[in-house]
């Protein structure tokens, strides 16, 4: 049968920063082909297709972000595979190779990470689950 | 290929979306 794609509405203008992305205009409707856990979603919009940030989209059927899982305050251990320096107040800076506890995985690709007493958002694409044998 | 997602983290949610999370 036909593949039914989910439709999302663009909530803010987005200007592409690399070649596989597409520009978005607030109010546009896009169809989602693939949802990557790192917060980039592959979409098609009229004749264009490419990657866009999930956080710039809301489901057409309702503004609820129902797909986010609940926070897990015990945390899950992850190791950073890339350093990231916080650019905003609510982010956390970590070097490469640090272990951190992830307490909330959000669909937008920014997960809440805890290191000691510090808590903040960190890019999920720079995290790899501890104990998982994957090459990067 | 275009099927490969960007190698940089996506931008943080726009202010419109952050308000909803509060």
Interface size A-B, in CB pairs within 8 Å, comes to 68
pLDDT tens-digit map of A81-131: 999 999 999 999 999 999 999 999 999 999 999 999 999 999 999 999 997
Residue A21 pLDDT more than 60? yes
How confident is the model at residue A134, as a pLDDT?
A: 52
Instruction: Closest CB to A39: pick one of B7, B10, B16.
Output: B10
How confident is the model at residue B22, as a pLDDT?
A: 41
ipTM over 0.90: no
Confidence band for A132, pLDDT divided at 50, 70 and 90: low
How confident is the model at residue A70, as a pLDDT?
A: 83
* Among A73, A74, A81, CA closest to A123: A81
- Of B4, B12, B16, B20, which to mutate for an interface test with A (greatest number of A Cβ within 10 Å)? B12
Give A122's contacts (C-beta < 8 A, 6+ positions apart). A80, A84, A91, A92, A94, A100, A110, A111, A112, A113
Q: In angstroms, what is the C-alpha Rg of chain B?
A: 13
* Residues of B in Cβ contact (< 8 Å) with A123: 9-10
Report the distance separating Cα A91 and Cα A98, nearest Å: 16
């Amino acid at each position: 049968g036909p593949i039914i794609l989910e439709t999302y509405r663009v909530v803010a203008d987005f200007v592409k920063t690399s070649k596989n992305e597409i520009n978005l205009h607030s109010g546009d409707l896009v169809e989602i082909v693939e949802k990557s856990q790192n917060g980039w979603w592959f979409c098609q919009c009229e004749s264009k297709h490419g990657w866009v940030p999930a956080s710039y989209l809301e489901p057409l059927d309702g503004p609820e972000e129902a797909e986010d899982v609940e926070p897990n305050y015990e945390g899950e251990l992850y190791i950073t595979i890339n350093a990231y320096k916080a650019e905003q107040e609510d982010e956390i800076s970590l070097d490469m190779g640090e272990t951190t506890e992830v307490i909330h995985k959000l669909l937008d690709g920014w997960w809440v990470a805890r290191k000691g007493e510090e808590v903040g958002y960190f890019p999920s694409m720079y995290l790899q689950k501890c104990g998982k044998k994957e090459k990067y | 290929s275009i099927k490969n997602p960007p190698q940089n983290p996506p931008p943080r949610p726009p202010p419109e979306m952050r308000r909803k999370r509060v």
